[in-house]
Amino acid sequence: MKIKKFLLIFVTPLLLNIQTSLADDAKMIKGLEIFNETAACAACHVLKAAGSEGNVGPNLDTVEGLNYDSVMDIVTHGLGVMPAFGEDEILTKEQIEIVSFYVANSAGK
């Protein structure tokens, strides 16, 4: 009984934690690939973490208030010259979530 309680209280959260950070690492790797290759965001945007130097759109390292939701929104619906990756079905919803996670977590780094 005591051991079960110990496992439940201490070991389970630890395992869950490891699982989430592994999933996050995988998203960062996949997100970089989408940014540079699949969606070619790199062709239009500077993002130091991705080594990209495109200058059609704004430098993503210096955009103020950039976060996961704002990236999701613009990648889905596009704006001006920027394609609507979601509406035009260039990327799947999952790919948009992954690339947005990647950009939100690497901009300015």
Using CB under 6 A as the criterion, which residues of the chain lie in contact with ligand HEC when the complex forms? 39-41, 43-45, 56-58, 60, 63, 66, 71, 74-75, 79-83, 85, 99, 103
* Residue type for position 45: H
CB distance 44 to 57 below 8 Å = yes
* Token pair belonging to 97: 């979530």
Least Å distance, CB 89 to ligand HEC, is: 13
Q: Considering the complex, state which of residue 19 and residue 62 has its C-beta at the smaller distance from ligand HEC.
A: 62
Instruction: Considering the complex, state which of residue 9 and residue 48 has its C-beta at the smaller distance from ligand HEC.
Output: 48
Q: What angle do CA 63, 65, 66 make, to 5 degrees?
A: 65
Residue 15 C-beta: closest distance to ligand HEC, Å: 32
Rounded distance, CA 2 to CA 20, Å? 27
